[in-house]
Structure formats: C-alpha cells, structure tokens
C-alpha cells in the first residue's frame, strides 16, 4: 500500500510491516523474553474480558478525549518509548513525535532512541514526554532532567523494570543486536543501583511531573504514591523482561486500589485494538501506552502510517464506547465488564485473526 489512507484495518499494518522490515528487525519487534509466556499472557488477559453493553441511549456524539499533564489528548493514548524505533523507520524518534502532534496525543521518547532528546524537541513544537534509562550517577541523571525541562518536555519518566536485560531468544538465535543495544548497553550498572532513595531525591529537587514505568504490584504502587509520583505506569515491558509474569491487565485491579486516585495510572501491555483501550480505561487506567502497534505502523508506513493507525484506534474505541451505550469515559464502571474465556490461543498477533487466513 503506497498511500497510508488505504489502510482500513489494523491487521494491514502488521502485514505490510512484515513485508518491509528485515527478518531480524521483525522478530525484534514482535518477540518477548525467554519462553514468551508473559507476552502471551498480555494478550490472554485482555481476551479474558468481555463487555456488558447497555442499549437505547443517545450515543450520537461520543467524546473519547482526556486531559493528562495539563494537555487535552484526542484519545487517551501515549505512544510508548521504543528504544530502537530508528530500526523500523528512517528518522527514528522524530517520526512518532510528529505523528503524535498531528493526531493529538503524546509520544514518550526513549533515551536509547535516535535522535536524542534535544534534536527531537526541536523537530516539533508540541507536548512530549521523555523516558530515561539510567546510565550514570546523580549528576548525569540531573543533567538529563534539566535538559528535558529546558527543551519543553511536559513530564519525565524513569523505566524501572530493566535492571537486567532479558534474553530475547528470537534475537539471540540470530545473534542480532538492535541499534540501541549496540550503542547504549554500557553503563548498565547504574540502572542496577538506581533505587527508591534516588527517586525521593529527584522528587524533592524537581517539580516536573514524574512517571515510573514498570510498576507491576500494589506494593510498589503504594511506594510511588507515598513519595509523590505523578503517574504510575503499569507495565511488564510488553513481555520483554521478566518471563512468567502476569498478563498486563491483570495487574491493574490491585494497583488501582493501592493508588486510590492519588496519582494518574498509565497502562500498557498488549494494546492493539480500540476495545483494548476501552477495557483498560474501565479497569482504572487514565491513559494507555502502545508499543508494538506503534512499531508495526511505523514500519509499514512511517509518520503517515502512525497517524492512520491512531485514527483507526480512535474509530474502534469510539464505536466500542457507543455500542456499550456511553458517550464519555467517566460513564463507565466495572459493571460493563465480565470474565470470559478467550476464543483464540493467544500470541503476539492473535488479535489479527485474518492474518492467518491470508488477508
């Protein structure tokens, strides 16, 4: 497909991305850690939730927007940090940043993405978030925060679930290293040393909204609230870190209870469809992050593909809200959900069943 507007379904991004990306890059994008059990549970946990709709409500006008960190988002979506997005699309981190600005959502730039913090900030005048992997001491960390603030980033995120880089066996089997692993693997001992005392120090020094990404338990969520973290980012790193973890959306109930409205909750973990967004929002998320779906759209059609993907995601989410019988997010509660077994064995792309039929 030469024209991104020709994309009419989400699965088309996966089909075209697989055709365009190298075998090594494709496997890096879709793969997980070790047995890929956590990755599969992300999909399974979303598929194990069914909807309970209400009918005969006026749903002509559905508003899917939210406000986060002082800015209105057209859809409660953050394009999550991808460390090697430059491997999927020429232009690297500038591409999703521009796409987010065109559509009206956030892009969270990874510190192991090219180009780096300042160059991406200069590429477009639109709110964006910066995510950091720690590769130095307190002075090194503070320098990055200072630069992010000076460059106009509206929030700052630390990823805290990558003290050890997992073995992604799809990559290891081919002896493949992404560009971010080739250039940013040194200094990982600083990430291993990074701890709650460091976060307390940073919180006391800086006013910028702080996000901790990789929170997976009520215990750690409670610690976030106690020290004044602005947003708890619930994530198991897309199944790419700790194997045999729980499915992403299964983490939400205990964390929502622990946070108790005292911080925003961002969720990612297998979000591929508008219905996935709706399920996460009903369960207490304030916003969702999309990683692999972002990579598929970028790999398929670059900036225009990302914008089109977000349009389709919005279309699916609005349709789901309307068919549930509501027009705004705050009209939903847990009574709109019901436990149900999945109908398809879960894998990273099982949400696109027509791929298996050759579409």
Number of domains into which the chain is organized: 1
Task: For residue 49, tell me if it sits in a domain.
Answer: yes
* CB 124 within 8 Å of CB 103: no
- Please state whether the peptide bond connecting residue 115 to the residue before it is cis, i.e. omega within 30 degrees of 0: yes
Per-residue confidence (pLDDT) for residue 101, from 0 to 100: 97
Per-residue confidence (pLDDT) for residue 210, from 0 to 100: 98
Burial of 5 (0-12, 13-18, 19+ CB in 10 A): exposed
Task: For residue 270, tell me if it sits in a domain.
Answer: yes
Task: For residue 105, tell me if it sits in a domain.
Answer: yes
3-state secondary structure of 117: helix
Residue (of 235, 183, 228) closest to 78 by Cα position: 235
pLDDT, block means (10 residues), the chain with 359 residues: 80 96 95 96 97 98 98 98 92 96 97 91 94 97 97 97 92 88 79 97 98 98 98 96 97 98 97 98 98 97 98 98 98 98 92 89
- β-bridge mates for residue 357, sequence order: none
Rounded CA-CA distance 286/251 in Å is: 15
Task: For residue 358, tell me if it sits in a domain.
Answer: no
Rounded CA-CA distance 224/353 in Å is: 39
Q: What CATH number does residue 201 fall under?
A: 3.20.20.70
Per-residue confidence (pLDDT) for residue 178, from 0 to 100: 87
Encode 303-326: b = buried (16+ Cβ within 10 Å), e = exposed: bbbbbbbbbbbbebbbebbbebbb
E strands, 221-269, in order: 231-234, 264-267
Q: State whether the Cα torsion 121-123-126-132 is positive or negative.
A: negative
Q: Tell me the angle at which helices 23-30 and 292-324 cross, rounded to the nearest 10 degrees.
A: 50
Q: List for the chain the helix, strand, coil content (%; round to 5).
A: 45, 15, 40
Rounded CA-CA distance 53/338 in Å is: 10
Catalytic machinery residues: 237
Rounded CA-CA distance 29/21 in Å is: 10
Per-residue confidence (pLDDT) for residue 184, from 0 to 100: 65
Residue 204 lies in domain: 4-352
The tokens of 257 are what?
A: 């209870």
Task: For residue 94, tell me if it sits in a domain.
Answer: yes
Per-residue confidence (pLDDT) for residue 141, from 0 to 100: 98
Task: For residue 357, tell me if it sits in a domain.
Answer: no
Rounded CA-CA distance 162/166 in Å is: 8
- β-bridge mates for residue 106, sequence order: 78
Rounded CA-CA distance 48/341 in Å is: 5
Phi first, then psi, for residue 340 (nearest 5°) are -160, 150
Q: What is the DSSP string of 243-279?
A: TT---GGGGHHHHHHHHTTSSEEEE-SS--SHHHHHH
Task: For residue 359, tell me if it sits in a domain.
Answer: no
Rounded CA-CA distance 331/333 in Å is: 7
Residue 22 DSSP code: -
* CB 132 within 8 Å of CB 194: no
Task: For residue 202, tell me if it sits in a domain.
Answer: yes
């Amino acid at each position: 497909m030469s024209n991104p507007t020709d994309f009419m379904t989400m699965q088309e991004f996966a089909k075209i991305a697989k055709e365009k990306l190298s075998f090594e890059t494709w496997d890096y994008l879709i793969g997980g850690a070790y047995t890929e059990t956590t990755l599969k549970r992300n999909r399974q946990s979303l598929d194990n939730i069914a909807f309970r709709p209400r009918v005969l409500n006026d749903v002509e006008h559905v508003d899917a927007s939210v406000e986060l960190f002082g800015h209105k988002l057209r859809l409660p979506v953050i394009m999550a940090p991808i460390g090697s997005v430059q491997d999927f699309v020429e232009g690297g981190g500038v591409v999703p940043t521009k796409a987010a600005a065109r559509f009206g959502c956030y892009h969270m730039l990874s510190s192991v993405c090219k180009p780096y913090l300042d160059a991406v900030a200069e590429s477009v005048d639109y709110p964006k978030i910066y995510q950091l992997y720690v590769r130095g001491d307190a002075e090194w960390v503070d320098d990055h925060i200072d630069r992010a603030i000076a460059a106009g980033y509206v929030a700052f995120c630390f990823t805290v679930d990558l003290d050890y880089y997992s073995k992604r066996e799809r990559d290891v089997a081919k002896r493949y290293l992404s560009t971010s692993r080739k250039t940013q693997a040194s200094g990982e001992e600083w990430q291993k040393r990074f701890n709650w005392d460091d976060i307390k120090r940073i919180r006391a020094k800086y006013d910028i909204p702080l996000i901790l990404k990789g929170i997976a338990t009520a215990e750690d969520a409670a610690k976030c609230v106690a020290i004044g973290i602005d947003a708890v980012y619930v994530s198991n790193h897309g199944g790419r870190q700790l194997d045999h973890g729980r499915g992403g959306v299964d983490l939400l109930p205990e964390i929502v209870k622990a946070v108790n409205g005292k911080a925003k909750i961002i969720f990612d973990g297998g979000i591929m469809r508008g219905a996935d967004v709706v399920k996460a929002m009903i369960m207490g998320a304030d916003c969702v992050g999309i990683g692999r779906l972002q990579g598929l759209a970028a790999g398929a059609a670059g900036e225009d593909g990302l914008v089109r993907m977000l349009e389709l995601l919005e279309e699916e989410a609005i349709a789901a809200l309307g068919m549930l019988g509501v027009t705004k997010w705050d009209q939903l509660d847990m009574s709109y959900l019901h436990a149900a077994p999945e109908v398809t064995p879960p894998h990273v792309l099982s949400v696109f069943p027509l791929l298996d039929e050759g579409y």
